[in-house]
């Protein structure tokens, strides 16, 4: 983010130079959102609203190796006139805060002993996305679009000399629920599910046309209620993701084609009965997305085509709902270094009809949003 103001002073204490740097940070995202739903019972519903997400805070760096950050975030809509602030310990809705809610979404201490190592502890924002205009991920992406989620825990990362970045995240989960998207029948009622783990390795240095190579593993011990009830069998939930992106120039005016794909697999999934897609057998654990981005078709203008699907047993993506197929077209206009206008058309179809439903649900939506970083 861009910095609105910086207050700096230096004090020498013995051999340690203390830097009292205070940076003010934040962003504002506002836009229009319209949606049409053809529901499972044959009914239709439509929604249109103006939405906003406001985030503001400060970062303090007392030394060259230690810093701390505090940020407050709020989500608002013309459909909701309440304003409720609290330090949430779990997200109150499946995709994060509800409209009208605000909370502290960052509160952490960072230690960077060298240019290779860094450790952050506290309330964090973590994201591992496929490169591209539409971006998105099958596993970890706090606060996408206008949502507000977070990670409570520890994030350690190491950058090797050959450009590979290694990450370890240990996340705290409360019995009442998680702080980012974790769909049922994932649950943290079991005492041994209080800490979940995420390991990732990624390289974004160009290797020929390849510009992104990544592999992630999410491990949520004793969090999968296999049959959908707390009295049934509880097992570990593991999800593995691979990402790959490559880029080529188009013409000689700076336009580039960025093609990327991401595939994930969860070997241990709930029963179909637990997720409502059948009465026998287990739900599928495969998820994938593919994306074509046309960058700088005109200066500052980029476009993307995105297609993906997640089977009913894929339970951890904030961008791809389980048991759904996604189609998306997106345009992004970089108005300035700190200003972006984004337009999206999206359709999501259910893959398998739920038990008792007369048809599969279909959602179509459009948004036009403006983002300003300060």
pLDDT in tens, 176-213: 999 999 999 999 999 999 999 999 999 999 999 999 99
Q: Which residue has the higher pLDDT, 232 or 292?
A: 292
**CA 73 to CA 150: how far, in whole Å?**
11
Residue 80 — pLDDT band, cuts 50, 70, 90?
Answer: confident
Query: Does residue 83 have a pLDDT over 50?
Result: yes
Residue 4, pLDDT score = 41
List Cβ neighbours of 336 (8 Å cut-off, separation of 6 or more). none
Name the region of 140 (left: φ>0; alpha: ψ -120 to 50; beta: rest).
beta
At 18 the pLDDT is 55
- Strand 324-336 to strand 301-310: parallel, antiparallel, or no bridges (unpaired)? antiparallel
115-155 pLDDT, tens digit each: 999 999 999 999 999 999 999 999 999 999 999 999 999 99
Quick one: which of 7, 36, 29 has its CA closest to 20?
7
Could you give the percent of the chain with pLDDT greater than 90?
91
Q: How confident is the model at residue 14 (pLDDT cuts 50, 70, 90)?
A: very low
Position 8 pLDDT exceeds 60: no
* Nearest residue to 264 via CA among 196, 318, 316, 225: 316
Cα–Cα distance for residue pair 153/167, rounded to 1 Å:
13
- For residues 284 and 280, what is the distance between their CA atoms, to the nearest angstrom? 12
Cβ-contact 237, 266 below 8 angstroms: yes
Please state the separation of Cα 323 from the chain's center in Å: 18
Q: How would residue 107 be classed by pLDDT, with cut points 50, 70 and 90?
A: very high
Q: What's the confidence (pLDDT) of residue 81?
A: 83
* Residue 231: per-residue pLDDT: 87
Q: Name the pairing type of β-strands 84-85 and 101-111.
A: parallel
pLDDT given at position 252: 87
- Give me the mean pLDDT over the 71-79 stretch: 96
Q: What is the mean pLDDT of the segment spanning 34-59?
A: 97
């Amino acid at each position: 983010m861009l910095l609105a103001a910086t207050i700096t002073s230096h004090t020498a204490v013995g051999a340690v130079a203390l830097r009292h740097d205070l940076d003010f940070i934040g962003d504002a995202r506002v836009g229009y959102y319209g949606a049409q739903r053809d529901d499972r019972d044959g009914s239709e519903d439509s929604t249109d609203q103006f939405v906003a997400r406001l985030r503001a805070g400060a970062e303090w760096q007392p030394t060259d190796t230690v810093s701390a950050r505090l940020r407050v975030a709020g989500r608002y809509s013309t459909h909701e006139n309440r304003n409720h602030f609290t330090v949430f310990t779990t997200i109150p809705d499946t995709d994060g805060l509800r409209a009208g809610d605000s909370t502290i979404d960052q509160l952490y201490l960072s230690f960077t002993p060298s240019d290779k190592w860094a450790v952050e502890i506290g309330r964090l924002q973590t994201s591992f996305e496929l490169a591209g205009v539409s971006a998105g991920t099958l596993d970890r992406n706090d606060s996408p679009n206008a949502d507000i989620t977070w990670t409570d825990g520890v994030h350690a990362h190491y950058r090797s000399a050959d450009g590979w970045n290694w990450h370890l995240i240990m996340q705290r989960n409360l019995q009442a629920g998680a702080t980012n998207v974790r769909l049922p029948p994932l649950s943290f009622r079991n005492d041994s599910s209080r800490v979940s783990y995420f390991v990732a390795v990624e390289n974004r240095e160009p290797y020929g046309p390849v510009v992104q190579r990544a592999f992630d593993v999410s491990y949520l011990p004793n969090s999968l209620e296999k049959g959908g009830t707390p009295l049934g069998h509880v097992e570990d939930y593991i999800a593995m993701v691979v990402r790959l992106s490559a880029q080529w120039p188009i013409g000689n005016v700076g336009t580039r084609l960025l093609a990327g794909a991401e595939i994930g697999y969860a070997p241990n999934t709930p029963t179909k009965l637990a997720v409502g897609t059948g009465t026998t057998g287990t739900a599928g654990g495969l998820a994938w997305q593919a994306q074509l981005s046309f960058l700088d078709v005109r200066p500052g203008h980029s476009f993307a085509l995105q297609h993906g699907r997640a089977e009913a047993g894929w339970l951890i993506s904030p961008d791809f709902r389980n048991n759904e197929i996604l189609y998306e077209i997106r345009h992004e206009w970089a108005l300035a270094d700190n200003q972006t206008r984004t337009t999206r058309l999206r359709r999501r179809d259910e893959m398998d009809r739920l038990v008792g439903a007369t048809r599969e649900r279909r959602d179509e939506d459009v948004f036009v949003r403006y983002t300003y970083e300060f």
